[in-house]
Chain A
Amino acid sequence: MSTIVSLPDQRTARIPKVNYLSKENGILSWLLTGDHKRIAILYLISLSFFFFIGGALAGLIRLELLTPQADLMATDTYNKVFTMHGVIMIFFFLVPSVPATLGNFLIPMMIGAKDLALPKINLLSWYLYMAGGLLALYTMATGGVDTGWTFTTPLSTHYVNTNVLTTGLAVFIAGFSSIFTGLNFIVTIHKMRCPGMTWFKLPLFVWAHYAASVLMVLATPVVAIAIVLVALERTLGIGVFDPTKGGDPLLFQHLFWFYSHPAVYIMILPGMGVISEVISTFSRKRVFGYTAVAFSSVAIAIFGFFVWAHHMFIMGISNYAVLVFSLLTMLVAVPSAIKIFNWTFTLYKGSITFETPMLYAFGFMGLFTIGGLTGVFLGVSGTDIHLTETYFIVAHFHFVMVGGMLMAFLSGIHFWWPKMTGRMYPEKISQLAALITFIGFNFTFFPQFILGTLGMPRRYASYPPEFQILNVFSTGGATILGVGYLLPVLYLVWSLKYGAIAGANPWQATGLEWQTQSPPLTENFTVTPIMDHECYDYEWLEARKEKEVTSVG
């Protein structure tokens, strides 16, 4: 299979002496850095750490569900395991994953800026993330919490005596980390674009992060106040959510889901940004319908705010509200469909190659399509009655989060690895890892759709015997998935030392970040670039390559 990778001659190629990694060293240069690239690397390391903790917890859950009886661990341990799996995976991996690593690293470079607008706030965001993360680990070590990641009241306020407060504090702090990242991105994209970089010359990666940042800034504070009220009710006994004192537990559901639905768009939109870049680069074509894809990101962000009560259809909210929220959920599904079709038609008349990022991107498109469509099953009020709170929902959001978001994250990591480290990852084994992940994923989560229609409830440690076969399939798939996720860590770390020297633009991509050395300088560009061409402008790239080849002679 042909490839577009063009590496400098390995015999003479060297990692550039002056780059953001070698400029200053010592632990303090990392811990007190203002450089958005170093903060991105710090995030990458801590994110992977938390991902593998969450992954281990997922493994425990799947092992427990091998047998109909709850025999691997006591039921309350199982409850603590799935709660921490939820909390860590959502708040400490999925929400920050692409924005905090790839977004931090690339947005300033893509818009031709020297750094994010507020570097100190960016570092503060990482410290808050680590504080929240360590607090979550402390909670796990000292007895965990068993309320589910949704902290449903009155269970979380009156009926459990596990560490709800410390977990709430951890999520509260991590929420601010997300707010500061979003705030930083919006300000940077608005105010620090290089000359000539109009809004419609911005790469779609930047558009997607802009939409996700708007969600981060506007939605996260509402879960912050919800957690504060839960903490107040749990400690002081104020009656805001307590039915015996006149409070309404549904009010907590409203405040919680007002954040938690936009949160799922915070998680998926950056992934979509990565996919737009990867699909365009590996089919050597401008993304089909650039403005449609850009505006669909913003449309998802805006509509994402009006649909939250589709999580509460059977909780006794008024039937008129169910009508309104179900209709709006249908509207929010359309931009995702637009994006999928636009990516598909980007391949039309392209010159497609199948390196690892592209394989992950294809995986994303397949799995996200299934994930998105099954979301419509749950948005339609009729079928939601039967399918809500069962494994159908577990399968739906894993298809979107793991099949969509994680595939996009891995695609992005592999695509920009040469830019971040100056080294190429090994191609063959990573294509194998992508294939294993895809197969393992489908084996794990497709049976859960069937379990969902059978009515198997969420968060069950034991289940009726006739569900066992599908659960055994699912656990089997989970082991394959586990292998699929371990492989990248191995060969990426290996590539740091032994990988081929990548040079500035191994993929011959058109983004501004590929027009400078890799790993880049601390100030990204020695001269602020002028954006005189459209984004994804492959003709401009060809023209520049001829001019360049002649001029160097």
Chain B
Amino acid sequence: MPHISPTIWQFLVKWMTNFALFPPEASKIAPQMDALYFFMVLVSLIGLTIVVLLIVAFSILYSKERHPVAEQIEGSTLLEATWTIIPLGLFLMMFVWGALIYFRVFTPPANAMNIYVVGKQWMWKVEHPGGQHEINALHVPTGRAVQLTIISQDVFHSFSIPAFRVKREAIPGRYTTVWFEATTPGTYHLFCTQYCGTEHSHMIGEVVVLSPEDYKKWLASSVSGASLAQNGERLFASLSCAACHNARPDARGPSLVNVYGAKLPLSTGGAVTADDAYLREAILNPSQHITQGFAPIMPTYQGQVSEEGIIELVEYIKNLDSGYRIQQTTNTTDLLPESEPQAPAAKAPASQAPASKGVVKP
């Protein structure tokens, strides 16, 4: 064997070992999308071979030597019809199949585990409801539907996991959602596929799929401080949302208990289900989202709360199943010296909060 220079040898080794041709299928939707993909590849190959074979055949059969005098043919409507109907039929079949997959990918199931993703110029911030915060990484368990609620803080990004065949644009100003169910444990690529500036090609990361047990271990080992809901509670108090939304019957703002998923009648008529997007809009542009029977006095928090803050508030509101937590925060704010004197003396009967120690009656 003649001497192969090290660089070529290194290249060949790389060729043998590190050479991907098709992305791994690591989510439930991946095989379905690959089925459609290979069907389309097959149809395209057949179509291409038909065209190429015809061209080659006609070129050989009717070249100038073999067929010096050309016969003028006007055309045939039958042939025209065939190569209009057949491609149209094939394309429509692909359209229907594709639309089914599209709806399956972008309609999260109700029981999906929600993870928030905030795209920011040149990094992905992933926030698990339990409080785990990850940068350019996403740990998910297998066999569980995971819904990503994605938003961007500045420009268009696009959260793309090729191995899951899933991709959703991160848009500043509104949530976009996508869901997947991971199947095979492993580490897969995470890309930002919408051009977002200088470090666009470094805005990458890895998606680590763990078996349910490993996922629990990871959750336990990586908890960092309070959960999103707890942070949301602190924000809820510091922004003095409780001043109006204090779940008392005489409150100035609608009660937020079990509001998530409820159908809210709006002051402008019509009703809307309170999902993440609605809650975010209600915080930032309240005057368009006033629940019936309440005065439009809620101030806007645009520019005062970061995207992560809104996510924490939304998470807090989603977990509000009783007025108890709000009462607790309201009472503590009463203790603060500068909090304004108590509203009219007729204090509504304390909500059904169990007598908990450490609460000082004013």
Direct contact of A and B (CB under 8 A): yes
- Residue A207, interface by CB 8 Å: no
Q: Are B94 and A455 in contact (CB under 8 A)?
A: no
A315 neighbours in B (Cβ, 8 Å): 156, 169, 171
- Cα separation A337 to B88 with both chains bound (whole Å): 9
- Of all chain B residues, the one with the shortest Cβ separation from A77 is B198
Given A334-B84, A347-B58; A79-B73 close (CB under 8 Å): no
- Cα separation A6 to B99 with both chains bound (whole Å): 56
- Residue A199, interface by CB 8 Å: no
A353 neighbours in B (Cβ, 8 Å): 63-64
- Residue B291, interface by CB 8 Å: no
- Cα separation A459 to B194 with both chains bound (whole Å): 8
For chain B residues 100-117, which have a beta carbon within 8 Å of chain A? Answer: 100-103, 105-106
The residue from A244, A316, A340, A347 contacting B303, defined by CB atoms under 8 A apart: A244
Q: Are B160 and A389 in contact (CB under 8 A)?
A: yes
A454 to chain B, nearest CB (A): 5
- Cα separation A1 to B59 with both chains bound (whole Å): 12
- Of all chain B residues, the one with the shortest Cβ separation from A323 is B99
A343 to chain B, nearest CB (A): 9
B303 neighbours in A (Cβ, 8 Å): 244
Q: Are B40 and A380 in contact (CB under 8 A)?
A: yes
- Cα separation A154 to B204 with both chains bound (whole Å): 21
- Of all chain B residues, the one with the shortest Cβ separation from A4 is B64
Q: Are B54 and A344 in contact (CB under 8 A)?
A: yes
- Cα separation A286 to B23 with both chains bound (whole Å): 47
Q: Are B99 and A326 in contact (CB under 8 A)?
A: yes
Contact digits for A312-351, partner B, Cβ 8 Å, 1 yes 0 no = 0111100100110011001101100110111011011111
- Cα separation A243 to B152 with both chains bound (whole Å): 11
Q: Are B95 and A330 in contact (CB under 8 A)?
A: yes
B62 neighbours in A (Cβ, 8 Å): 283, 347-352
- The stretch among A212-220, A270-278, A466-474, A495-503 that forms the contact with chain B is A466-474
Q: Are A348 and B58 in contact (CB under 8 A)?
A: yes
B76 neighbours in A (Cβ, 8 Å): 289
- The stretch among A10-18, A54-62, A366-374, A402-410 that forms the contact with chain B is A366-374
- Residue B91, interface by CB 8 Å: yes
Q: Are A352 and B194 in contact (CB under 8 A)?
A: no
Q: Are B73 and A75 in contact (CB under 8 A)?
A: no
- Cα separation A93 to B309 with both chains bound (whole Å): 48
B15 neighbours in A (Cβ, 8 Å): 469
Given A79-B200, A155-B155, A244-B303; A385-B14 close (CB under 8 Å): no
Contact digits for B19-33, partner A, Cβ 8 Å, 1 yes 0 no = 111110000000001
B94 neighbours in A (Cβ, 8 Å): 330, 376, 380
For chain A residues 32-86, which have a beta carbon within 8 Å of chain B? Answer: 70, 75-76, 79
- Residue A284, interface by CB 8 Å: yes
A246 to chain B, nearest CB (A): 8
- Residue B158, interface by CB 8 Å: yes
Q: Are A462 and B155 in contact (CB under 8 A)?
A: no
- Cα separation A461 to B204 with both chains bound (whole Å): 12
- Cα separation A462 to B52 with both chains bound (whole Å): 37
A338 neighbours in B (Cβ, 8 Å): 80, 83-84
B195 to chain A, nearest CB (A): 5
Q: Are A376 and B102 in contact (CB under 8 A)?
A: no
Number of interface residues of A (CB under 8 A): 100
The residue from B55, B75, B201, B302 contacting A365, defined by CB atoms under 8 A apart: B55
Q: Are A155 and B167 in contact (CB under 8 A)?
A: no
The residue from A1, A290, A349 contacting B71, defined by CB atoms under 8 A apart: A349
Q: Are B201 and A75 in contact (CB under 8 A)?
A: yes
Contact digits for B118-134, partner A, Cβ 8 Å, 1 yes 0 no = 00010000000000000
B338 neighbours in A (Cβ, 8 Å): none
- Residue A377, interface by CB 8 Å: yes
Q: Are A250 and B171 in contact (CB under 8 A)?
A: yes
- Residue B216, interface by CB 8 Å: no
- Cα separation A70 to B15 with both chains bound (whole Å): 20
B69 neighbours in A (Cβ, 8 Å): 351
B155 neighbours in A (Cβ, 8 Å): 152, 154-155, 158-159
B105 neighbours in A (Cβ, 8 Å): 382, 385
The residue from B63, B74, B102, B158 contacting A382, defined by CB atoms under 8 A apart: B102
- Cα separation A345 to B77 with both chains bound (whole Å): 13
A365 neighbours in B (Cβ, 8 Å): 51, 55
Given A326-B95, A383-B36, A460-B200; A289-B71 close (CB under 8 Å): no
- Residue A523, interface by CB 8 Å: no
- Residue B87, interface by CB 8 Å: yes
Q: Are B40 and A249 in contact (CB under 8 A)?
A: no
Given A76-B198, A319-B102, A347-B55; A2-B64 close (CB under 8 Å): yes
The residue from A152, A374, A380, A460 contacting B95, defined by CB atoms under 8 A apart: A380
B18 neighbours in A (Cβ, 8 Å): 465-466, 468-469
A154 neighbours in B (Cβ, 8 Å): 154-156, 172
B302 neighbours in A (Cβ, 8 Å): 244
Q: Are B100 and A382 in contact (CB under 8 A)?
A: yes
- Residue B241, interface by CB 8 Å: no
A450 neighbours in B (Cβ, 8 Å): 21-22
Q: Name which of B48, B79, B83, B168 has the most chain A CB atoms within 10 A of its CB.
A: B83
- The stretch among B185-193, B231-239, B256-264, B315-323 that forms the contact with chain A is B185-193
For chain A residues 348-363, which have a beta carbon within 8 Å of chain B? Answer: 348-354, 362
- Cα separation A333 to B130 with both chains bound (whole Å): 48
A344 neighbours in B (Cβ, 8 Å): 51, 54-55, 58
Q: Are A381 and B67 in contact (CB under 8 A)?
A: no
Q: Are B79 and A289 in contact (CB under 8 A)?
A: yes
- Of all chain A residues, the one with the shortest Cβ separation from B201 is A460
A463 neighbours in B (Cβ, 8 Å): 201
Given A330-B94, A377-B37; A454-B20 close (CB under 8 Å): yes
The residue from A285, A333, A386, A462 contacting B162, defined by CB atoms under 8 A apart: A386
For chain A residues 135-154, which have a beta carbon within 8 Å of chain B? Answer: 146-148, 150, 152, 154
Contact digits for A156-193, partner B, Cβ 8 Å, 1 yes 0 no = 00111000000000000000000000000000000000
Q: Name which of A70, A351, A384, A465 has the most chain B CB atoms within 10 A of its CB.
A: A351
Given A349-B62, A455-B160; A380-B71 close (CB under 8 Å): no
Q: Are A152 and B195 in contact (CB under 8 A)?
A: yes
Q: Are A314 and B169 in contact (CB under 8 A)?
A: yes
A427 neighbours in B (Cβ, 8 Å): none
- Of all chain B residues, the one with the shortest Cβ separation from A155 is B155
Given A286-B74, A348-B62; A374-B44 close (CB under 8 Å): yes
- Residue B230, interface by CB 8 Å: no
- Residue B139, interface by CB 8 Å: no
Q: Are B80 and A146 in contact (CB under 8 A)?
A: no
27 A-B interface contacts by CB (under 8 A): A3-B64, A243-B172, A249-B156, A249-B173, A289-B75, A314-B158, A316-B168, A316-B171, A322-B99, A326-B99, A326-B102, A327-B92, A349-B67, A350-B62, A351-B68, A352-B58, A352-B59, A365-B55, A373-B43, A377-B37, A380-B98, A382-B36, A382-B105, A386-B165, A453-B23, A457-B192, A459-B200
Since A376-B40, A457-B193 are in contact, a sample of 19 more A-B pairs with Cβ atoms closer than 8 Å, ordered by chain A residue number, is A160-B197, A249-B156, A322-B102, A347-B55, A350-B67, A380-B94, A382-B102, A382-B105, A383-B33, A383-B36, A383-B98, A385-B165, A385-B167, A386-B37, A453-B37, A455-B163, A460-B191, A466-B18, A538-B72
Identify the B interface with A (CB < 8 A): 14-15, 18-23, 33, 36-37, 40, 43-44, 47-48, 51-52, 54-55, 58-59, 62-65, 67-76, 79-80, 83-84, 87-88, 91-92, 94-95, 97-103, 105-106, 121, 154-156, 158, 160, 162-163, 165-169, 171-174, 176, 189, 191-202, 204, 302-303
Nearest 8 CB-CB pairings of A with B: A455-B162, A243-B173, A382-B98, A382-B101, A380-B98, A289-B75, A347-B58, A381-B102
Identify the A interface with B (CB < 8 A): 1-4, 70, 75-76, 79, 146-148, 150, 152, 154-155, 158-160, 243-244, 248-250, 283-286, 288-292, 313-316, 319, 322-323, 326-327, 330-331, 333-334, 337-338, 340-342, 344-345, 347-354, 362, 365-366, 369-370, 373-374, 376-377, 379-386, 388-390, 450, 453-469, 538-539
